[in-house]
Amino acid sequence: MRYCSRRRVATLLLPIGVMVMSSMAAGLTSTPVGAAGILPPSNPPANIAPNSTDWLASIDSARGLEGVGGMNISESAFAALPVPQQVFTVVNDERVDRGLPPIDYMTAQLDSDAQAGADAGTDPSFPSTLTGGVPITFGGAIWAGGLSSVLEADYYWMYDDGFAGSATSNTACSLSSMSECWGHRDIILHEFGGCPTGPAVLSMGAAFSTSGYAAGSISAVVVSTCAPPSDVTLAWGSVATSVQSSSRAVGIAPLGNGTGYWEAEADGTVAAFGAAQNYGSLSGQLNSPIVGIAATPDGDGYWLVAADGGIFSFGDAGFYGSTGSLRLNRPIVGMAATPDGNGYWMVASDGGIFSFGDAAFYGSMGGSPLNEPIVGIADDPVTGGYWEVASDGGIFSYHAPFLGSTGGLHLNRPIVGMEASPNGQGYRFVASDGGIFTFGLAPFDGSTGSLALVAPVVGMAPDNATNGYWLAAADGGIFTFGGASYLGRLVS
């Protein structure tokens, strides 16, 4: 087996000057070290050795070290896709699961550019404009050769691309050029700038060739523009859920009296436990995966929210609006209902707040610089305000009291969610390892922070009857603390 790496630096003339864009290729090294951080420049401090011959299992393990849930794909459905669509899928899964917007489209022109690179066994070039004359505002290209699959390529692009202390097959990376390490990851997870009219339009092309390099050659081109391309061959919405595994839980919502709860999966499946009633699930294809669930105050309904801000109402949950038809700067990562159930807020990973019904808007972090992305929201039932929490535990309070944060601490794993006390005098955060952080009068009743979990924790919910809480893991596992009762778990 051979692995190869090459590097190209290209420049494009933009209206404001010159932007430098890098394109690198795959690396292979070995030292197993924990990773920290989610978005560039917080790349892993060292390479993470694969721990399985199943590349999806190795990816999921490496993502777990960052507090990112497993890649939500069915291996059999994924394998049935053409290689370019597989690349489209893994690139977008790596982005969306870290709170970044997906690449919107694949285009015929960019597929052709990627094919030329794959055939030549090198980084593909990219044009200065897309078909129809739309100028490119950023471009990057990645390539890998001699690998067995797209999942293996993704592993070395994302988790084993740096310097191992003595050698790396990423020839752009060395002790003398450390800034060139993790080049693939930086392109895949690039935080594209906006346009005067709103968010940038993101497009890509991908290709595979058996002639350009031994055992195959995989390449991709990623670009941003301020208008859609005219030669779209595939939109992300048409494949976003087509290869999802149905076994990935995304959240938990409780009954107010603590006698039941619901778990939701990314494909829209909802399971009810205890006294909670199942009012329905989603069936068929979603434009974007589900990222959260919230219950109505009387427990006779619930809402599901998708990453594009689409809202799905069940039982007595009212529909008050959504962002499903809008282009968002960043994906939605959570929602919270108002105390009377006649409205709700949605929060995006950049801290943008979208309020509907009687949910009042008191401000947001949208447009402000963040150290880490926002991962959750909780309402203050006393003031009618809300809190936003970031993956580093930073708290942003709006018409709600600031009671403390972990923003200045070094966390073992990132924060993935929060919940507030019913009297508004405290809140708790949960990290992906199940570590619990309490503030104000919210009690600490235990955690899974010292346990080895099969799957990362994805959310938490309060038991307002006992002041205990539930934790939900990505595999549907439920952990109870305080007076919260175990009533069952989601099993697909």
Is pLDDT above 60 for 272?
Answer: yes
| Gap between the Cα atoms of 134 and 179, Å rounded | 31
CA 335, chain centre distance (Å): 15
Upper half-sphere CA count for residue 79 (Cβ side, 13 Å) = 9
**Mean pLDDT rounded to a whole number for the chain:** 85
Around 104, how many Cα atoms within 13 Å sit in the side-chain half-sphere?
Answer: 21
**C-alpha distance from residue 361 to each of 343, 358, 396 (Å):** 11, 9, 14
- With bands split at pLDDT 50, 70 and 90, how would you rate the model's confidence at 463? very high
Amino acid identity of residue 473, one-letter, is A
Alpha helices of 143-254 — where are they, by DSSP H?
A: 150-158, 183-188
DSSP character string of 297-349: TTSSEEEEEETT--EEEEETPPP---STTSPPSS-EEEEEE-TTSSEEEEEET
CA 104 to CA 488: how far, in whole Å? 38
> What does the alpha-carbon distance between residue 169 and residue 146 come to, in Å, rounded to a whole number?
12
Question: For position 434, what pLDDT does the model report?
Answer: 93
* 189-208 pLDDT, tens digit each: 998 888 988 889 999 999 99
| Residue 114 near residue 106 (C-beta atoms within 8 A) | no
Give ∠ CA 349-351-352 in degrees, rounded to 5.
Answer: 105
Position 11 pLDDT exceeds 50: no
Structure confidence at residue 326 (pLDDT): 84
pLDDT score of 64: 78
Task: Name the residue with higher pLDDT: 334 or 175.
Answer: 334
Cβ distance 310 to 324 under 8 Å? yes
Structure confidence at residue 215 as a pLDDT band (50, 70, 90):
low
Amino acid letter, residue 179: S
Per-range mean pLDDT, top range of 170-174, 241-245, 263-267, 375-379: 375-379
Residues 162, 165, 170, 175, Cα dihedral to 10°: 90
pLDDT of residue 48 exceeding 70: yes
Q: Identify the residue whose tokens are 């471009």.
A: 139
**Cα-based distances in Å from 174 to 87, 112, 420:** 27, 32, 47
228/269 Cα distance (integer angstroms): 33
What's the whole-number mean pLDDT along residues 366-388?
Answer: 92
Strands 17-25 and 134-145: parallel
Q: Which has more confidence, 358 or 4?
A: 358
Q: Is the dihedral of CA 401, 349, 260, 355 positive or negative?
A: positive
- Rounded Cα distance between 60 and 149, Å, is 16
pTM for this structure?
0.76
Residue whose tokens read 């959310």: 459
The 8-class DSSP code of residue 198 comes to: B
pLDDT above 60 for 347: yes
Peptide bond into 41 cis (omega under 30): yes
Q: How many C-beta neighbours within 10 Å does residue 234 have?
A: 18
Check whether 27 has a pLDDT greater than 60: no
For position 435, what pLDDT does the model report? 94
Confidence band, pLDDT 50/70/90 cuts, at residue 401: very high
Mean predicted confidence (pLDDT) in 100-106: 91
Every domain of the chain and the residues it spans = 8-238, 249-481
Contact 364, 353 (CB under 8 A): yes
Band of pLDDT at residue 167, cut at 50, 70 and 90: low
Distance CA 57, CA 289 (A): 21
Q: Identify the H or E element spanning 469.
A: strand 468-473
pLDDT band at 393 (very low <50, low <70, confident <90, very high): very high
Beta sheet of 260-265, edge-to-edge order = 249-254, 260-265, 270-274
Q: What is the pLDDT of residues 52-69, one digit of tens each?
A: 889 999 998 888 777 777
Evaluate whether 434 touches 226 at the Cβ level (below 8 Å). no
Over residues 7-30, the mean pLDDT reads 26
- Sheet with 468-473, edge to edge strand ranges: 457-463, 468-473, 478-481
**Which of 79-83, 168-172, 181-185, 193-197 is least confident?**
168-172
Helix (H, G, I), strand (E, B) or coil at 454: coil
pLDDT at 83: 95
Q: Taking a C-beta distance cutoff of 8 angstroms, is the pair 128, 135 a contact?
A: yes
What's the rounded mean pLDDT across residues 462-472? 95
Enumerate helices (H) and strands (E) in the chain, giving the number of each.
6, 26
More confident residue, 23 or 192: 192
**What is 249-481's CATH topology?**
Methylamine Dehydrogenase; Chain H (2.130.10)
